């Protein structure tokens, strides 16, 4: 296979698989599931091949493909990956087959369900590899459409409201971002992210925005408005509070496999956009707005943890926990934008924070998706129940389930030795040196997270066994085989984080030199 076209093949394969799976007739449900899973596993193999061929010593983009597409509009077919893009491609490749296995028992139109998940995977791969805004925006929006139908058709009782709310919020953010990039194109004549980053470094982007002269506004205000449009598109996707209200209902009403992808991969699109697009292209505007941005990150961490404590529905608890953990990512990357000079000590702290952000994105994707999977298994056995107070003493009848879910909970808690620890540790290590007050307040989120996660352990696993669940079966061999690889990966990364750090650290060092340390 030509290394030159590996990204294109990886992106196109799930979309082709979606067409194949959608073509099966109604009696071929089992075959459609098998073929859909096979396409997702081949995509995972290609993602692993990309990982194996990636040279971590090179800080530039790799596997680059660039072809003129619509020259008059500045549109190129332009793809490539660095450590960030590669990490997100691998995460997507891991989570899609995991979510399909968790959705194996869906009986209502499984052909369409599996096809939509594969189409979503194609959109995710394209989002994490495209380097031209026009090209990238197609995949950004492509990921929106399958999720809307997956929630609308297979969700819970409030699925229509959840799907509509998800669609409207993300569409508004996308429209704001599209308008902002129209202004950027008028100012620069290009949609390519690397070129726009260099223009921001050389201040050519700022000078170009002067030419727009929109409504005789001051240049500084024009730049902030454009920055605000791009920011809104990503803030909704993360989501950053107060743009979060769509998330709890969407996560709670989505079917289990879709909730896994929403929290595991799609929420990372927003953080990825901050790192790939917003901060490199708008460093000055980010620094100008750093105080309110840091405040929003801290509120996201603390408020979402507090809200999680108040929930009685396990899926809603994990949904708010997801917001909380992504808030740590925003804390780290905003702290890294502070101008602290070029002393080696500050560069090391920025590197720690940013390495922690990337690790947190990957590790949260594993732990949160595993937790949603476990809640789905519990609801399946209990007739749809998933209330915090509906169970009790399950470790007596489901020791394997409680053990595996317990590992995922402790991973989310950040227990040393599991994958969730190292990312949070690096974020707080770097952020505390760069922004001590905001980081100190944010540590309240760690305390509240420990409280509500340990509360789940106590109320669901411990205490007297509710006799109504005395015959609840433990995990089957297939279910154990589904969860064990993810749990094993949590342990492997927790014990040997260099497995990921060795690949992403050179990218982070390159960012610091190019983006995060110039004024």
Exposure string of 69-102, with b = 16+ CB inside 10 Å and e = fewer, is eeeeebbbbbbbbbbbbbbbbbbbbbbbbbbbbb
The arithmetic mean of pLDDT across residues 103-129, rounded, is 94
User: What distance in Å separates the CA atoms of residue 273 and residue 278, rounded to the nearest whole number?
Assistant: 6
Helix, strand, or coil here: 313?
strand
**Given pLDDT bands bounded at 50, 70 and 90, which one contains residue 1?**
very low
Helix, strand, or coil here: 76?
strand
User: How do residues 373-397 score in pLDDT, each as one tens digit?
Assistant: 999 999 999 888 888 888 988 999 9
pLDDT of residue 516: 57
User: How do residues 137-157 score in pLDDT, each as one tens digit?
Assistant: 999 998 889 999 999 999 888
pLDDT of residue 362: 96
**Given pLDDT bands bounded at 50, 70 and 90, which one contains residue 447?**
very high
The average confidence (pLDDT) of the chain is 90
The two three-digit tokens of residue 488, written as one number: 């094993």
Kindly give, in sequence order, each residue whose CB lies less than 8 Å from that of residue 1, ignoring residues fewer than 6 positions away: 9, 49
User: What distance in Å separates the CA atoms of residue 265 and residue 270, rounded to the nearest whole number?
Assistant: 10
pLDDT of residue 37: 96
pLDDT of residue 340: 65
pLDDT of residue 183: 87
The arithmetic mean of pLDDT across residues 258-263, rounded, is 94
pLDDT of residue 244: 86
pLDDT at 237 over 80: yes
Helix, strand, or coil here: 210?
helix
Name the least confident of 10-14, 253-257, 340-344, 482-486: 340-344
- Closest Cα partner for 5 from 38, 53, 44? 53
User: What distance in Å separates the CA atoms of residue 317 and residue 311, rounded to the nearest whole number?
Assistant: 6
**Given pLDDT bands bounded at 50, 70 and 90, which one contains residue 27?**
confident
pLDDT of residue 213: 60
pLDDT of residue 518: 46
Exposure string of 486-513, with b = 16+ CB inside 10 Å and e = fewer, is bbebbeebbeebeebbebbbbbbbebbe
The arithmetic mean of pLDDT across residues 453-463, rounded, is 90
User: What distance in Å separates the CA atoms of residue 100 and residue 119, rounded to the nearest whole number?
Assistant: 13
The radius of gyration of the chain's CA atoms, rounded to the nearest angstrom, is 22
User: How do residues 267-301 score in pLDDT, each as one tens digit?
Assistant: 999 999 999 999 999 988 898 899 999 999 999 99
pLDDT at 2 over 70: no
3-state secondary structure 274-295: HHHHHHHHCHHHHHHCHHHHHH
Percent of the chain topping pLDDT 90: 67
Higher model confidence: residue 204 or residue 469?
469
DSSP state of 67: E
Name the least confident of 78-92, 341-355, 417-431: 341-355
User: How do residues 160-173 score in pLDDT, each as one tens digit?
Assistant: 999 999 999 989 99
| pTM to 2 decimal places | 0.94
pLDDT at 341 over 70: no
The arithmetic mean of pLDDT across residues 326-331, rounded, is 94
How far does the chain reach from its first CA to its final CA, in angstroms? Answer: 43
């Amino acid at each position: 296979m030509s290394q030159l076209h590996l990204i294109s093949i990886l992106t196109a394969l799930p979309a082709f698989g979606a067409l194949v799976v959608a073509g099966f007739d109604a009696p071929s449900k089992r075959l459609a599931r098998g073929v859909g899973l096979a396409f997702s596993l081949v995509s995972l193999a290609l993602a692993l091949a990309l990982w194996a061929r990636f040279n971590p010593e090179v800080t530039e983009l790799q596997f680059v493909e660039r072809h003129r597409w619509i020259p008059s509009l500045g549109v190129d077919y332009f793809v490539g990956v660095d450590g960030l893009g590669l990490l997100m491609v691998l995460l997507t490749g891991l989570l899609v087959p995991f979510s399909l296995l968790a959705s194996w028992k869906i009986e209502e139109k499984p052909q369409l369900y599996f096809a939509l998940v594969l189409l979503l995977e194609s959109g995710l791969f394209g989002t994490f590899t495209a380097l031209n805004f026009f090209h990238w925006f197609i995949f950004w929006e492509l990921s929106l459409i399958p999720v809307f139908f997956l929630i609308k058709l297979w969700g819970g009782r409030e699925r229509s409201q959840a799907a509509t709310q998800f669609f409207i919020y993300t569409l508004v953010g996308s429209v704001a971002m599209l308008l902002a990039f129209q202004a950027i194109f008028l100012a620069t004549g290009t949609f390519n992210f690397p070129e726009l980053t260099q223009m921001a470094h050389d201040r050519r982007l700022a000078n170009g925005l002067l030419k727009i002269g929109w409504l005789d506004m001051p240049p500084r205000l024009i730049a902030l408005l454009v920055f605000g449009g791009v920011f809104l598109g990503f803030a909704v996707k993360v989501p950053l509070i107060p743009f979060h209200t769509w998330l709890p209902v969407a996560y709670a009403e989505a079917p289990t496999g879709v909730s896994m992808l929403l929290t595991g991969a799609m929420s990372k699109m927003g953080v990825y956009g901050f790192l790939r697009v917003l901060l490199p292209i708008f460093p000055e505007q980010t620094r100008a707005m750093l105080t309110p941005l840091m405040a929003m990150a801290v509120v996201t961490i603390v408020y979402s943890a507090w809200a999680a404590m108040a929930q009685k529905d396990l899926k809603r608890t994990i949904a708010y926990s997801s917001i909380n953990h992504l808030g740590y990512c925003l804390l780290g990357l905003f702290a890294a934008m502070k101008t602290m000079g070029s002393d080696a000590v500050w560069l090391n702290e920025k590197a720690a924070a940013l390495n922690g952000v990337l690790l947190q994105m990957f590790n949260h994707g594993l732990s949160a998706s595993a937790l949603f999977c476990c809640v789905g298994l519990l609801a399946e056995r209990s007739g749809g129940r998933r209330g915090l107070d509906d169970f009790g003493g399950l470790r007596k009848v489901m020791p394997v389930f409680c053990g595996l879910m317990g590992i995922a909970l402790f991973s989310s808690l950040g227990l040393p030795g599991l994958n969730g620890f190292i990312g949070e540790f690096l974020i707080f290590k770097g952020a505390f040196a760069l922004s001590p007050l905001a980081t100190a307040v944010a540590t309240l989120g760690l305390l509240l997270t420990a409280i509500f996660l340990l509360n789940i352990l106590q109320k669901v696993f411990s205490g007297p066994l509710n006799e109504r669940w005395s015959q609840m079966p433990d995990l089957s061999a297939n279910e154990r085989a589904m969860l064990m690889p993810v749990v094993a990966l949590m342990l492997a990364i927790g014990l040997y984080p260099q497995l990921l750090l060795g690949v992403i650290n050179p990218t982070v060092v390159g960012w610091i030199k190019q983006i995060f340390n110039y004024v």
